[in-house]
Amino acid sequence: MPGAAARDSLPCVTTSLTGRSVLVAGATGGLGLPIARLLAERGALLTLTARSPERLDVVARELAAPAVPLDLRAPTAAERAVEAAVAAHGRLDGVVHAAGVVAFGPAGEVDDATLEELFALNVLAPIRLVRAAQPHLATSAHEGGEPFVVNISAVVAEQPTAGMAAYTASKAALTAFDAAAGRELRRARIRLLDARPPHTETGLATRPVAGTAPTLPRGLDPSAVAARIVAAVENGERDLPAGAFG
């Protein structure tokens, strides 16, 4: 029998995505779209959500998946997204929260609208998604569905970054929620994966809700980041620190 360390290093797929009902929030995004494509390639039954109906429609046609355009800052949006997934596929086995916004600028100059948008989308929306999805994910666990939640936080949760203090705070809050809620969900056999990718070339930094990005070194390839996240789902991982992205 291999020891624990040897077992942990074994490259094995523990979670099959075939036939799993997965809700992807932010499915039109630079990370959400390649993640959705990889999940679809592995046979997952997707439900897609994002804000812009036009962009979402294009992705929904490509992936032949039901889609519900929602502004996830609204308090009821998470519940509606979960209901749409359950209505479409009769069950829910996974949630990927890949929606998010960034803001730049000195902490002393951040305005209320920016603070509210950062925290509504980057923190409150994923917390509400977990809350809305949990009963369905518990049913999935009961039926052997190996349910999971993926929340995309960011490297700044590990490396607080000057000039991005409010964004850093939103991601640190999400990562802290994931650590605490992940322990609770584990008891219900629901896996919560907190992913903290480094800067990635999705264009996110070019469309901040406030401020202007500093000159950034070249970021990671979005396809590689998406592939690492989907591999983590399949491999049963619970934590993807920035260093896991190479």
Ligand X SMILES: NC(=O)c1ccc[n+]([C@@H]2O[C@H](COP(=O)([O-])OP(=O)(O)OC[C@H]3O[C@@H](n4cnc5c(N)ncnc54)[C@H](OP(=O)(O)O)[C@@H]3O)[C@@H](O)[C@H]2O)c1
**Which CB, 163 or 219, lies closer to ligand X?**
219
199 touching ligand X, by CB under 6 A: yes
In sequence order, what are the residues at sequence separation of 6 or more whose Cβ sits closer than 8 angstroms to the Cβ of residue 217?
Answer: 199
31 touching ligand X, by CB under 6 A: yes
| Interface pick for ligand X out of 36, 101, 110, 164 (rule CB under 6 A) | 101
Write out the two tokens for 121.
């989308």
- Binding pattern to ligand X, positions 36-75, x when CB under 6 A? --------------xxx--x--------------xxxx--
Tell which residue, 28, 30, 34, 62, has the closest CA to residue 48: 28
94 touching ligand X, by CB under 6 A: no
Task: Report how many residues bind ligand X under the rule CB under 6 A.
Answer: 30
Contact between 50 and 32 under an 8 Å Cβ cutoff? The reply is yes
Helix then strand count (H, E) for the chain reads: 8, 6
Q: Which amino acid, one-letter code, is at 67?
A: A
211 touching ligand X, by CB under 6 A: no
In sequence order, what are the residues at sequence separation of 6 or more whose Cβ sits closer than 8 angstroms to the Cβ of residue 55?
Answer: 28
Closest CB 197 distance from ligand X, rounded Å: 4
Q: What are the beta bridge partners of residue 45? A: 21
34 touching ligand X, by CB under 6 A: no
202 touching ligand X, by CB under 6 A: yes
| Interface pick for ligand X out of 15, 21, 24, 30 (rule CB under 6 A) | 30
